[in-house]
Structure 1
C-alpha cells in the first residue's frame, strides 16, 4: 500500500511532535488492521493544531465549544468516482500532551494512540454504542501492543 500523508504543522510550539515516519507507521497499521478492503493507495491529511483551532473546529462541526484530542473528517467520494482520499485528522497538541500527563502515559505512546484512533474513525469505526466501542478499542489495543506500547485503555479498565 502506498501511503501519502500531508503533514501540516499548524501548532506554534513544534517541540515534542512525532515525525512523519512515525505518523505514517501508526496510520498505515490502523489502515491495514481496520480496513476490509485492500487499498493500493491511500492519502490523508494530518494537521497538528493548537487549542484555539481545535476548539473552533469542534464547535463548528460537533457543537462542542472546547478543544479535543482528535477530530476526524472522512472523505466522501462522489458517486461513481473512486479516489484514494481517506480524509483529514486534526490533532490538538496541547490536549494530547495534557492527556498523556493526566493518564500517566508516555507522550509518544499517546500520540500513536491518537493517530490510530483517528484513522479508525476515518475508516468508519466509532465508539457511540458499547459493541462498536469494544470492536474499535480491541483493534487499538492490539495495534498499540504490536507497536511496542502498553494497552491504551489499561488504566481505565483497572
Structure 2
C-alpha cells in the first residue's frame, strides 16, 4: 500500500472530523428509531432522511479512516533542512514581475486549500519549488502561464 504524505496539522484535522462523525452516529441511530415509531416506513420521509444521513456519515467515516491508514505523517519541525523547500515547509515568494509577495505551505493533496495558502505537493508551483533554497529564483510553468519567483523565506512550522 502506497503511503500518502500528510502534515501533522492535516492529520489532526482529520482526526477531529472523524471524532465529530463518531459522535453523530448515536444521534442518527436515535433519529432512525424515532422515525420508525411513526409508522409506515414506505411513506415515512423522516425515516428515509435519517437513513440517508446515516449512509453519508458512514461513507465519510470510511473515507477518513482510509486516508489516515495510508497517511505518512511528516513533521517538518523535526527536520534540519535549513532554508531548503521540502514537503510541509511554508514558503514566502516574491513575484519578480509584479513585486507581489505570496506565502504558501506545501501540504498533501487532501489538505490543499489555495484560499488558505495551502498548496498540494503535486501542484505545479510546489513541484517547481521543492529542493530549492532561500534566495533562489525559480521559473515555474503554471496553467496561467510562466511565473518567475524569488524565494524570500522558508519556514518549518
Q: Same fold (TM over 0.5)?
A: no
- Larger strand percent: 2
After TM superposition, the score normalised by the length of structure 2 is: 0.28
Which structure has the larger Rg over C-alpha atoms?
A: 2
